[in-house]
Structure 1
Amino acid sequence: MVNQEDEIDLKVILFNYLQYWPLILVFALLGLLSAFLFNRLTTPVYKIESTVIVEDENAALGADLFESAGLLGLQGKSNIENEIGILKSFSLAQAALNELNFNVRYYREDFLKKTEAYGNFPILVSVDWNKPQVVGGLFKVEVIDENSFELSVEEEGFSVFYPNDPYYKGRLEELLFEKKIFRFGELVKGESFEFKIEKVSAQPNEIFYFKLVDTPSLALSYKEQLQAAPSNKQSSIVTLGLETPLRRMGEDYLNKLMETYLQRELDDKNRTAENTIKFIDQQLSGITDSLRGSENQLEQYRSENKIFNLSEEGSIIFERLSEYEKEKGLNEINLKYLQTLRDYLSSGLSGELISPSIIGTTDPLLNALVQNLSELQAERVRLTANFSDQTPQVRDINSRIQNTTKALQENVNSAIVNTQNVLADINGRIRTIEQEINALPQTERKLLSYTRQFTITENIYIYFLQKKAEAEITQASNMPSNKILDFAKSGQLPIAPKRSLNLLIGLILGLIVPIGFITVKDFLNTKIEDPKELEKQIKVPLIGMIGRNNSTDALPVFNNPRSSVTESFRSLRADLAYLSPQKQNLTILFTSSISGEGKTFVSLNMASVFALMGKKTVLIGLDLRKPKIAQDFGMVNDKGISTCLSSDTPWQSVVKHSGFENLDLILSGPIPPNPAELLLQEKFKTIVTEIKAEYDVVIFDCPPVGLVSETKELFSYADVNFYVFRQGYSMKGNTHILNNLVEKGGITKMYAILNDLHIDKGYGYGYGYGYGYGYGNNSYGYHEEVQIPWWKRALRRQR
């Protein structure tokens, strides 16, 4: 039973909405039309994607010794998040845009909008960005002929870009620029702008638009739009994405961004080699003069003393001395480098460190520390370009730099002491050999001295030349560690607008609006509409429903006997046989809550159906305040029940014949000043008793029980009492009046009637209870009217 009730409820709701189907259909079509126009007017947006491989760098020799100590956190592995931060940085975007010509945006007039274009455009705007320029607003170019055009401002909203302060733009409320004709190639100059417009392929009467955009604003915009993320958690492949209405522009930007990213990495690698070459050149500049001087001294001595070669003993001593001098020279270079490195660390300067391996230092720990410090400093430069000093990333990198610097200072101090000890030992050996030199002849001793000085300088010079060549080879062979895996490519279809989804959303919104309106309207409606809802609210049976009388005739039972309204009264007459069985004489009372609910109409026609049945019927108008029966029958309300009650006039003298067989009328009569008191007289009881004895059916048309008090006293005279409600007119709160009469007033034999039923609120109602259901000329042919709509017939066949 519960499932059946739920099913009926759904059908009621469905019928409630289907009666508004034209409104719902109109709004659904409007929703689809709005979605179509939105799809048509929205510029398509494409997704541009490219991929970059972030390679892991090989760890330097000795790096594994300090990785566990946290000093080499970046060595030997790639920080994907930092690389993504570089790719999304403002500085990288600005560097890429500096090589692209995106500062002038061109537009064409399209259907109800302006569409941006990129690539070959009929005009070319050249801008001098070294001077202040207006940006943001829109200019209009209308080509007049082959040589001239008209320039005007299409949209305001300009700002002024200042090259000396590129990150600040002054707001310009209004550009003082009047429409003017210029020649192609002519300088267009004003207080805050200066540019030229060249003709490429423009034709007369064509109209174009353009706006100027400064590079910092473009960089900020692209920085925010760029999407960068690893392909997956374990991957070192970074996917770059960009959503733009211009596919070629997006592809060009992403490709240039990746090229700039790789070039920046290569520049970072080459910077170490460049600094090494610079350091070596500085050393060679001093050694070259010393080498040239010692060479001249040696040649001059040989020439003057006619001695060119050392003796065998001298050669042996010289070879030993040369080895020690060479070793001493290398250690002195190493000591000088270490002292320079110590000064650098003590001063706290930020710059490029020279790798110890370039100088010849083979200490793996020192090489690893210097290389790691250099990488940490480079990483700090990258991070500070995008983050403040208080961010966790920058604070962490500063802490690593501090720890690495401390460890490197300790290592350098130790290396300086060790190198100084080695030099002291070498100098002691050299002094020993110099004592042996003193035993040689003076001429040979001086030759050995000049040769010794020349050889020392030459060895150092050759050594630096060799290191310079190595640094140059390293610089020439440097390649970016990261690589471009896929160049930028656009999807074949735009990602927005989503046409099918928008149409679906438009349809849904088009349905929601009227359905929501109907729902709210029904929720706020205080009138009785649904027969089933009325049944639930009242404490008495809903015995019948009377359909809407579409004619002006108040007596359809007599004048239109084949109408569905007439059939509803016949059905109600048949139900009375069950409500008051085995009663030869029947008294029926009709009332309602307020005036206008149709109780008089129901009373008239119920009396009519009994009269047609051959029953001697009388209709008594007891609504002494607002009588209507006389008007409906075309009579004069000159005498009636009020006449009898207020005088000695017998009731038989006020009976009027209705003009229809078996139907008499007792009108209410002239309106008395005290209608309630009249009906409460004992005389009224006597008159009713006599009338019941005279007639088979007595029908009372009583005043509204919700407005007057005398009706409550009249219920005792009737065998069956009917409470009339009117669909779309009676208030829902009126059901409480009926319920109080039954529960508190003790009224029995009370039944409800729903009059003027015309709104179908559900299957089985509105066309039920003898009204229309199965009787129209679409059914058994009993009635002449009520063409049931096709959609209702279709739904009924689903039963």
Structure 2
Amino acid sequence: MNKNKSDWEDEFEFEDRKSDNKELLRFIGRILANWYWFVLCAIAGLLVAFIYLRYTVPTYKVHAKLLVSDDKKGGGMMSSSLGDLSGLMGAKNSVDNEVEVLRTGDLMREMVLAEQAYISYFNTGKVHKIPILRSPYMVNLLSDPDSIRKSINLKINQLDKQELELSNADTSFRVKVSSPFNIREVGTLMLTPALGSYDVNETYSFLLTPVRKVTDGLMGALTVEVTNKLVSTIDLTFETQLPKQGEQFLRTLIQKYVELNLHDKNVIADSTLSFINTRLRSITEELASVEDRISGYKKSTQLADISQQSRILLESSADYTKILAEAETQLAMLDAMSTYLKDSQNPRVVPSSVIPQDVAFNALISRYNELVLQRERLLMANTEDNPLVQNVTFQIANLRADMINNVATTRRSLELNKQSQVELAKRVTSQIQQVPTIERGYIDLARLQQIKQAQYIFLQEKWEETAIGRTANVSNSKVIDSPKSEELPFAPNRKLVLAFGLVVGLLVPFGILYGKDLLNVRIQTINDVQEGSHLSILGAIAHSDEHDQIVVTKTSRSAIAEQFRALRTNLEFSLQGGKTILFSSSMSGEGKSYVALNLAVSLALLDKRVLLMELDLRKPSVTAKLGLAAGKGFSHYVVRPDMRLEEIVMASGAHENVHLIQAGAIPPNPAELLVHTRTEQLMSQLNDQYDYILMDAPPVGMVTDAQLLSRYADACLYLVRQGFTYKEQLRIPNDLQAKGKIHPIHLVVNDVQAKGGYYSNYGYGYGYGYGYGDYGQVTKKKKWWKFWK
């Protein structure tokens, strides 16, 4: 007996021998079973991708490259024959600083205003709008561009040569060609005919967008980066749907950047020229006044010539006077410089070429002007609270303090030099006082004239130097690769979109299958049964579309009949000489009566006497399935001691060897009847008369009747129905056998439907390979257009 049990377990307990590729084979089986869904979804994904590519406007990249003069990398383009003069007027350049300037919104705004990028034109189709460079009618904004406070898209419909209709989803109105008209929150516009020929069958429209919104959008399309840290080049990339327009936008942006760069350099020179012009006007007036006084003095004194001694004294006095004039000029410049530096609230660039030729001091001025310009650039894109701006402001303050101290030191040195020259001049003056009074008066005027003339000549020279230096100013950047668009669009990527559509299309059925398994709480596969229960599976019964309750006949060779025969064979091994079989399940509707009835017929075909007992006293169903009238049955026999066995045993009509004991009248206490002494006597008497006794019991998951009947049973067949029984209910038979309430229990999987991979490794014959077309059984083939069923 133990050897037979061991052979049975070796044959049917597959859960103890899990192969490594079992899950993979099951997964492949499910895919192959649902191949048509994968094909359809893949085609649908490719179709969606094709439609997306068909109606998506391609985006191109426009590239340009700038070479920037970076002192740290030796890329100076500012060197000239003027030597340190150009250096004093310009600030040191940094590639990183120039990148930040190119990224500023103010610079992009200048480009937007210059190119009127706030006006866009479209060719309007039935599905989408295609941007174009020009339309038959061009829009002229007569008001300030900042008057556009909201976006508006208007379709152009030509009524006649002089009248147009503008419309959108919200409004529609007519305007005259080349006549101004006003739109609220937009401004004053005028439409003028454009040159060239256009397709009259096409529909055109234009879009007006606020300048700030356009600026922000174009800022997102612009990429400025330094790709190689070893050279001072800047790469600019601009994304656009119109390549020609993108090239022009990038070209204008670079032009505005160059203009801004030159403006920063010219600020210093203009500041110096302004200071020199102011001083020249003052000195010119003073010199003219002195010359008028000399002329008047000569006329009034009738002075023709002076003595040789006076000439020598006058020349000596002129030398000292020139030195004093230079000292006075330098002191005046230092005072002006001090005034510039004392304005700490609003840092300004200071004049450079009028400063004394002190190398250390000139370096301070150059560094100071560089920081001031850097601060102004940072403020274009940041606030004064930004840490970068505060850092530069702090450096400016420290540098200003150093320059103020340097100016004070230089001024004290000039004062001492001037004082020594004054002493020498006094000696000459005392000698001049010894000449006649008339000549002395002339010498005083001539000396004053020389002082003013020396100042005038000095300032004139500095003005010429500064003007030449300003003319020599060039931008610190150079376009080495002009804006050019790529020939092929970078978005959408045709191959990538098609591949993505295909992958998404294939993932949809994957996701549905996975989600279905994840959310399903009912038994769907043999694997679900094996994972939920350690009990042996005695057989699997396929789904049947036949209306007859009895599918097993003497001549039947269908697949389901063969499955019942296989179940019969397996049952003979598991009974090991027993004859009483109990049928139960977790809940009603899992096919206990159906399986019991057909198994009874299958056993009867072996020329065995089989008794089917309808012991579901609460909801009997076997009598109704056989089409018999309700009569006396088990409940009558138990409560009536005088009733004999022959009165309740009847022919089933399914087979001559199959007899039936009906449930009888539904009692109020079915559980008590099942353990009555009359029941025990009945079961003992039946064992002597029949080869097999099949007891159709109520669901064990709902009442205890099956547990009470298990005392008379040699084996219990527990029905599990595919797509009906809950996975959690598999714990019930496990607990019943583990606790010894019902033993032994074997599982029977009912209503199995072929779903490709669900039960493919067992077959409808539970391993025996019986199919619907085997042994001459003709089956109907499913029509290909009903694959979804």
Query: TM-score with structure 1 length normalisation?
Result: 0.83
Alignment gaps of 5+ in structure 1: 60-71, 157-177, 791-799
Q: 2:23 aligns with which of 9, 27, 37?
A: 9
Q: CA deviation at 1:33?
A: 3.7
Partner of 2:3: none
Q: CA deviation at 1:57?
A: 4.4
Partner of 2:103: 88
Moved more, 652-661 or 44-53: 652-661
Sort the Cα spacing of 1:659 and 1:214 in 2 relative to 1 into closer, same or farther, 3 A. Answer: closer
Sort the Cα spacing of 1:644 and 1:473 in 2 relative to 1 into closer, same or farther, 3 A. Answer: same
Q: CA deviation at 1:708?
A: 4.1
d(CA) in 2 for partners of 1:107, 1:734 = 65
Q: CA deviation at 1:530?
A: 2.1
d(CA) in 1 for partners of 2:350, 2:758 = 92
Listed one character per residue, the Cα deviations across residues 192-226 of structure 1 (whole Å, up to 9, x for unaligned) are 53211111156656532223334444334434553
Matched, 1:252 2:248: yes
Moved more, 301-310 or 35-44: 301-310
SS at match of 1:488: strand
Alignment gaps of 5+ in structure 2: 1-14, 75-86, 785-789
SS at match of 1:602: helix
Which letter does structure 2 place at the counterpart of 1:613? L
d(CA) in 2 for partners of 1:115, 1:554 = 68
Q: 1:404 aligns with which of 399, 403, 406?
A: 399
SS at match of 1:397: helix
Matched, 1:180 2:173: yes
Partner of 1:731: 726
Please tell me whether the aligned partners of residues 125 and 203 of structure 2 are also in contact (alpha carbons under 8 angstroms).
Answer: no
Sort the Cα spacing of 1:731 and 1:99 in 2 relative to 1 into closer, same or farther, 3 A. Answer: closer
Sort the Cα spacing of 1:236 and 1:295 in 2 relative to 1 into closer, same or farther, 3 A. Answer: same
Please tell me whether the aligned partners of residues 565 and 771 of structure 1 are also in contact (alpha carbons under 8 angstroms).
Answer: no
1:70-219 correspondence to structure 2 within 5 Å: 77-118=92-133, 120-130=134-144, 132=147, 135-152=150-167, 154=168, 179-189=172-182, 193-200=187-194, 201=196, 206-219=202-215
Please tell me whether the aligned partners of residues 546 and 568 of structure 1 are also in contact (alpha carbons under 8 angstroms).
Answer: yes
Q: 2:688 aligns with which of 671, 686, 693?
A: 693
Please tell me whether the aligned partners of residues 632 and 665 of structure 2 are also in contact (alpha carbons under 8 angstroms).
Answer: no
d(CA) in 2 for partners of 1:467, 1:321 = 25
Partner of 2:610: 617
d(CA) in 1 for partners of 2:455, 2:299 = 26
Listed one character per residue, the Cα deviations across residues 495-553 of structure 1 (whole Å, up to 9, x for unaligned) are 33344444444444444454444434333433222223323433432111111222112
Q: CA deviation at 1:753?
A: 1.2
Please tell me whether the aligned partners of residues 531 and 761 of structure 1 are also in contact (alpha carbons under 8 angstroms).
Answer: no
Listed one character per residue, the Cα deviations across residues 67-89 of structure 1 (whole Å, up to 9, x for unaligned) are xxxxx9x9985344433332222
Q: 1:56 aligns with which of 46, 64, 70?
A: 70
Partner of 1:651: 645
1:533-572 correspondence to structure 2 within 5 Å: 533-558=528-553, 561-572=556-567
Please tell me whether the aligned partners of residues 622 and 668 of structure 1 are also in contact (alpha carbons under 8 angstroms).
Answer: yes
Matched, 1:470 2:485: no
Matched, 1:426 2:387: no
Paired residues in the alignment total: 750
Matched, 1:595 2:610: no
d(CA) in 1 for partners of 2:531, 2:627 = 40
SS at match of 2:742: coil
SS at match of 1:250: helix
Q: CA deviation at 1:672?
A: 4.2
SS at match of 1:725: strand
Sort the Cα spacing of 1:56 and 1:643 in 2 relative to 1 into closer, same or farther, 3 A. Answer: closer
Q: CA deviation at 1:373?
A: 2.3
Q: Percent identity?
A: 29
d(CA) in 2 for partners of 1:441, 1:90 = 75
Sort the Cα spacing of 1:638 and 1:76 in 2 relative to 1 into closer, same or farther, 3 A. Answer: same
Moved more, 220-229 or 609-618: 220-229
d(CA) in 2 for partners of 1:2, 1:470 = 101
Which letter does structure 1 place at the counterpart of 2:249? Y
Sort the Cα spacing of 1:473 and 1:662 in 2 relative to 1 into closer, same or farther, 3 A. Answer: same
d(CA) in 1 for partners of 2:566, 2:258 = 93
Sort the Cα spacing of 1:434 and 1:699 in 2 relative to 1 into closer, same or farther, 3 A. Answer: closer
Matched, 1:377 2:388: no
Please tell me whether the aligned partners of residues 641 and 666 of structure 1 are also in contact (alpha carbons under 8 angstroms).
Answer: no
Q: 2:631 aligns with which of 638, 662, 665?
A: 638
Partner of 1:160: none
Partner of 1:481: 476
Q: 2:324 aligns with which of 324, 328, 347?
A: 328
Listed one character per residue, the Cα deviations across residues 301-342 of structure 1 (whole Å, up to 9, x for unaligned) are 889999877666555444433332222222211111112222
Partner of 2:661: 667
Q: CA deviation at 1:560?
A: 5.9
Sort the Cα spacing of 1:289 and 1:643 in 2 relative to 1 into closer, same or farther, 3 A. Answer: closer
d(CA) in 2 for partners of 1:54, 1:2 = 75
Listed one character per residue, the Cα deviations across residues 157-185 of structure 1 (whole Å, up to 9, x for unaligned) are xxxxxxxxxxxxxxxxxxxxx63333211
Please tell me whether the aligned partners of residues 564 and 785 of structure 1 are also in contact (alpha carbons under 8 angstroms).
Answer: no
Listed one character per residue, the Cα deviations across residues 679-707 of structure 1 (whole Å, up to 9, x for unaligned) are 43434444433433333333333333344
Partner of 1:263: 259
Matched, 1:344 2:340: yes
Please tell me whether the aligned partners of residues 590 and 723 of structure 1 are also in contact (alpha carbons under 8 angstroms).
Answer: yes
Please tell me whether the aligned partners of residues 614 and 662 of structure 1 are also in contact (alpha carbons under 8 angstroms).
Answer: no
Please tell me whether the aligned partners of residues 737 and 744 of structure 2 are also in contact (alpha carbons under 8 angstroms).
Answer: no
Q: 2:601 aligns with which of 604, 608, 617?
A: 608
Q: CA deviation at 1:403?
A: 1.3
Please tell me whether the aligned partners of residues 48 and 489 of structure 1 are also in contact (alpha carbons under 8 angstroms).
Answer: yes
Sort the Cα spacing of 1:686 and 1:765 in 2 relative to 1 into closer, same or farther, 3 A. Answer: farther
Please tell me whether the aligned partners of residues 151 and 182 of structure 1 are also in contact (alpha carbons under 8 angstroms).
Answer: yes
Which letter does structure 1 place at the counterpart of 2:136? P
Please tell me whether the aligned partners of residues 356 and 362 of structure 1 are also in contact (alpha carbons under 8 angstroms).
Answer: no
Moved more, 750-759 or 621-630: 621-630
d(CA) in 1 for partners of 2:22, 2:466 = 91
d(CA) in 1 for partners of 2:561, 2:375 = 96
d(CA) in 1 for partners of 2:677, 2:531 = 39
Please tell me whether the aligned partners of residues 142 and 205 of structure 1 are also in contact (alpha carbons under 8 angstroms).
Answer: no
Please tell me whether the aligned partners of residues 559 and 772 of structure 2 are also in contact (alpha carbons under 8 angstroms).
Answer: no
Which letter does structure 2 place at the counterpart of 1:194? T
Q: CA deviation at 1:447?
A: 6.3
Please tell me whether the aligned partners of residues 772 and 786 of structure 1 are also in contact (alpha carbons under 8 angstroms).
Answer: no
Partner of 2:273: 277
Which letter does structure 2 place at the counterpart of 1:145? D
Please tell me whether the aligned partners of residues 607 and 657 of structure 2 are also in contact (alpha carbons under 8 angstroms).
Answer: no
Moved more, 472-481 or 191-200: 191-200
Matched, 1:45 2:59: yes
Which letter does structure 1 place at the counterpart of 2:518? F
SS at match of 2:354: helix
SS at match of 1:144: strand
Q: CA deviation at 1:477?
A: 0.9
Which letter does structure 2 place at the counterpart of 1:688? M
Which letter does structure 2 place at the counterpart of 1:49? H
Please tell me whether the aligned partners of residues 737 and 745 of structure 2 are also in contact (alpha carbons under 8 angstroms).
Answer: yes
d(CA) in 2 for partners of 1:396, 1:342 = 23
